Structure 1
C-alpha cells in the first residue's frame, strides 16, 4: 500500500512539474497598424509585423469624389498588405494588395470616383513580416 501511495504521489508531482513547465516562451507573433495621423483631407501611417495578422478599420472624411493614395512595403517584407477604401455609400473605390513575395512593392494613384463624405478605410495585414506605410488625400 505504501508503494502504491508513493507511486501515486510521484505521478502527481511529475504531472505538476510537467504542466507548469510547458508554458510556451516563444515570442508573440504580431502585426500592427501604427501612427495613423489624420488631418483636413489627409491621413497616413505605417504598418509593422513579425509574421502576424491584423485588420484595422478607419473612418475618414473625404470632401471629394476621389482620393490620391500611396502604399508601400519594404522589399524584404513577407505576407500581404491590403488597402481597401469605400466611399460614403459603401461602394468599394479602391482594393489593392501588396504581396511581399512578388513585385511591385508599392502602389499609388487615384481611387475610382465615389460619393464624398465619411469613407471607410480597411487595412489588413496577413502573415506580415516587415514594414510599410500608407497615405491618402482628398482627390480633385
Structure 2
C-alpha cells in the first residue's frame, strides 16, 4: 500500500518542493532504498534511511515488535527550532475497515469515491 501511495505523489514532488520540504523515511538501508528508487522510478522522491536511528519508534512508524507502520508527519521550522506539528494518528483509531488515515492525500481513494461502486474492497497491489 505504501508503494501505491508514493506512486501517487511521485509526479507532485517538484510542485510540493516549491512550498515545502518533503522526505520519505523508511527503516531500510540506504542501498535498499536506492535500489527501490530505481525499480519504482522514484528518482524525484527524496528517500531517507532511518536505519540505526530511533526515528521510526519515536514517531510511531514502528510498533514494539518492529513492524513498520504507515505514518505521515508534518514538522514546522522557526527560530525556536523544528517542531512536530501533525501526525496521522488516526491509524490507531479502531475501525471496521482498513485504516484510511491518509486518504485525503491519496489520489486513488479520492477517485474511487467518485465512482458508483466507491472504494469497494480494493487493496492496492491486487487486481
TM range (shorter): under 0.3
User: What's the TM-score once normalised by structure 2's chain length?
Assistant: 0.24
The structure that is strand-richer by fraction is 1
Considering Cα pairs closer than 8 Å and 6+ residues apart, tell me whether 1 or 2 has the greater RCO. 1
